[in-house]
Amino acid sequence: MRGVALALGGGGVRGYAHLGVLAVLEEAGIPIRGLAGSSAGALAAAAYAFGHKDPWKVHEAIFDQEIAGRKGGNLRTLARLFTAFRRPHLFEAERIALGLQRLFGEARLEASSIPLAIQAADLLTGERVVLRQGPVWKAVLASMAIPGLFPPVPWEGRLLVDGDVVEKVPVRAAKELFPKVVAVDVSNPPPKKGPKTALEAALLAGEASRRRLKDLALWEADLVIALNPPMAIDTFDHEKLPLVYELGKKRARERLKEVQALARVRLKDLAWALRFRP
């Protein structure tokens, strides 16, 4: 079967680059056989699968709230916030939840025209949780629930948080949808300066660990499109939406011939398809 599945990684506002990548692949006529998303990638995957392809409209529907437009996503700012507030999470998620409900309504994951997998993490066990059924808005909310910033989302007896905790780019989930996977990594470049506080050091260590897990996951992808932003773009710097969207399109065009080659039918793809015949 011709086409590819995409594994869309997390990265806050940088996740809008995924919609730029998808726009280029759609324009080139490459069939999308599956979408797996984590965190911001979960939002992009679900938005595209349910026909919301304009990044500005997606942003307007969801982030009409106090956190939108802030430039407070860097580690130093987070360190100050964690010092100032001694509570399980810094922000409530009701307004994001309402925005997601406005965008997706009562749509369910299993009703998607494109096979869709939303990756989250079990906060208590550390398990990777791949959601294929249930309300779209709630699955995306769970996948975007950054620990410490937003509360975990209850789901069938679990407490779910940001999928980036277990795998920043959900390649394994994408492979379960379709055998040929293009991973889209929208990570920032590694920081160039060391920490100034103990908490910053702990946060940087966590980021380093997730970066290593991301690199291990990318080994399983057939092709990787990396955003490689020219400078670090803060998680909540929504003013950078136009920049990251256009950068996503640019990176996709740079790798388009490779994606087209990957999308061609191969004998082993036919063997994979036969697995699902009755």
> What band does 72 get if pLDDT is binned at 50, 70 and 90?
very low
Domain ranges of the chain: 4-273
Angle (CA) 274-277-278 rounded to 5° is 145
**What pLDDT is attached to residue 5?**
98
Strand partners, 158: 155
Q: To the nearest whole number, what is the mean pLDDT of the chain?
A: 86
Helix (H, G, I), strand (E, B) or coil at 160: strand
pLDDT at 103 over 80: yes
Instruction: Give yes or no for a contact between 153 and 159, defined as CB atoms under 8 angstroms apart.
Output: yes
Instruction: Give yes or no for a contact between 54 and 44, defined as CB atoms under 8 angstroms apart.
Output: no
4-8/32-38 β-pairing: parallel
Sign of the Cα torsion 138, 144, 149, 152 reads positive
157: which 2 tokens? 């007896």
Class of the domain covering 4-273 = alpha beta
pLDDT at 79 over 60: no
Residue type, 166: V
- pLDDT for 220-239, tens place per residue? 999 999 999 988 888 888 89
**What pLDDT is attached to residue 272?**
58
- Tell me the DSSP string of 77-89: HHHHHHHH--SS-
Residues tagged active-site: 39, 162
Mean pLDDT along residues 155-167: 93
**What pLDDT is attached to residue 70?**
44
User: CA-based Rg of the chain, rounded to a whole angstrom?
Assistant: 18
Give the separation between CA 200 and CA 244, rounded to whole angstroms.
26
**What pLDDT is attached to residue 4?**
98
Q: Which residue has the higher pLDDT, 62 or 206?
A: 62
**What pLDDT is attached to residue 278?**
45
- pLDDT for 238-255, tens place per residue? 899 999 999 999 999 999
> What band does 114 get if pLDDT is binned at 50, 70 and 90?
very high
- Cα–Cα nearest to 240, from 12, 10, 60: 12
- Tell me the DSSP string of 210-265: HHHHHHHHHTTSSEEEE---SS---TT-GGGHHHHHHHHHHHHHHTHHHHHHHHS-
**What pLDDT is attached to residue 226?**
95
251 to 10, 132, 172, 209, 256: CA distances (angstroms): 17, 29, 22, 26, 9
The four Cα atoms 107, 112, 118, 122 give a dihedral, to 10 degrees, of 50
> What band does 133 get if pLDDT is binned at 50, 70 and 90?
very high
100: which 2 tokens? 């997601």
- pLDDT for 11-49, tens place per residue? 899 999 999 999 999 999 999 999 999 999 999 999 999
pLDDT at 56 over 60: yes
- pLDDT for 182-220, tens place per residue? 999 998 887 778 777 775 676 667 677 666 666 667 789
Residues 6+ apart with CB under 8 A from 255: 223, 225
**What pLDDT is attached to residue 131?**
98
**What pLDDT is attached to residue 196?**
74
Strand partners, 153: 160
**What pLDDT is attached to residue 69?**
40
